[in-house]
Structure 1
Amino acid sequence: MFFKQILGGITVLLAIISYIPYLKNTISGKTRPHAFSWLIWLILTTVGFFIQISNGAGAGAWFNGLMIIICAVIMTFGFIKGRKEIVFIDGICMALAFIAIYYWLIIKEPTLSLILVIVADALGMIPTIRKPYIHPYSETLETYAINAFRITIAIFALEKFSFLTASYHVYMILATILMVSLLTLRRKYSKI
């Protein structure tokens, strides 16, 4: 158990480290977060975190608790300095986020709720994926790279391994690897 707590602490530390350059780049105007994506992620991360905690994830979910705060800060900067356009898919993601909350809190069906969280999160990635495809330097590559590593560590920090505790992490690893790949390739080929 103590080893898992050490790993959980490492994931929290890596979350802080990974978002320092992102926040620095956001403040300087180099990174322009999509505000609505971060609002959606704030809601979804909150639901995912509480589902994980209530199902025994323990230290493996600690970084998601911190991510609630980080999402709120970046969302705020997104509304001040980032991209604010809302498209149809954003509305779908927000609706799915609220349906996930409904299934979790009212219907007491955390599995379906978590599936909706993952689907909504994946759809919420679309504006963020679209943006660096067009503007490959508009996102902070280092943040996504560190996050892929951090979330992998978080899987090993899970105190109870189940669909409800691990699936959100697995999804997030895949999503961050996609972003790292996209940012790397688009930057490489935009110089040609």
Structure 2
Amino acid sequence: MSQFGQSEIFGIASLLVTLLQYGPYSWRTYSGELHPHVFSYSIWGIGAAIVATAQWSAGAGPGAWAMGMVAVLCFVVVGLSLRADVKYISKRDIWTLVAALAALPLWFYTQDPLFAVIIITLVDIAAFHMIFRKALARPTEDSIVFYAIAIVQYALSIFATENYNLTTLLNPIALILCSAAVIAAMYLNRNGTKITAS
């Protein structure tokens, strides 16, 4: 493979899709149209930075580029979200945040990138749980398009990955499935099929 090959092309494509995903989303958050879950994006920002580092060390190459950019943009969304109403945060969300943040330091105690990715993936799922519950309760306060583009971005990052293994694939596959669940929750509750969080 040449120095600039298929992996690099998919890597650049994933970066462009990430910008396409977060650019309008950030603007709509700034304008008050959307109200992202502050806790979820805080967790994702930290988690994405760790996953990008672990993926890079495991040989993901350009497959780790988008995750690194996601880490930065998640914190942009957090900053913009703090300007808005945060009444949707529940006691369960607070406990989820505490548990997720408590789990994050565990990855420092291992030399194994896979263990780090497993921990972060579980933390990401916990963050998605908060988004999912909010999508059920307030389906119009977030963007279906954002999560649909997220699926494309994570799929492109998989195609950009140079070495396929559990370390490089677990997190993006989990995020694709979680994004699909959030889309379904918002779509169904916007269209008359009322599903409530337990």
Match of 1:87 among 80, 88, 91: 91
Question: What is the SS of the residue equivalent to 1:91?
Answer: helix
- 8 Å Cα contact 1:151-1:172 kept in structure 2: yes
- 8 Å Cα contact 2:55-2:113 kept in structure 1: no
Q: Which runs of 5+ in 2 are unaligned?
A: none
1:171 partner letter = A
Q: How does 1:5-154 map to 2 (within 5 A)?
A: 5-83=8-86, 85=89, 87-102=91-106, 104-154=107-157
Q: Which runs of 5+ in 1 are unaligned?
A: none
Structure number with the higher helix fraction is 1
Question: What is the SS of the residue equivalent to 1:147?
Answer: helix
- 8 Å Cα contact 1:34-1:82 kept in structure 2: no
Question: What is the SS of the residue equivalent to 1:32?
Answer: coil
Among the aligned pairs, what percent are the same residue? 26
Work out the CA distance in 2 between the residues paired with 1:189 and 1:10: 36
Work out the CA distance in 1 between the residues paired with 2:161 and 2:110: 26
Deviations 1:34-68 (A, max 9, x none): 11111111111111111101100111111001001
Q: What's the CA shift for 1:87? A: 2.7
Number of aligned pairs? Answer: 190
TM-score in terms of structure 2 length: 0.87
1:168 partner letter = N
TM-score in terms of structure 1 length: 0.90
Work out the CA distance in 2 between the residues paired with 1:165 and 1:94: 26
- 8 Å Cα contact 1:89-1:123 kept in structure 2: no
Match of 1:173 among 171, 176, 184: 176
Q: What's the CA shift for 1:92? A: 3.8
- 8 Å Cα contact 1:35-1:75 kept in structure 2: yes
Work out the CA distance in 2 between the residues paired with 1:144 and 1:160: 26
Question: What is the SS of the residue equivalent to 1:80?
Answer: coil
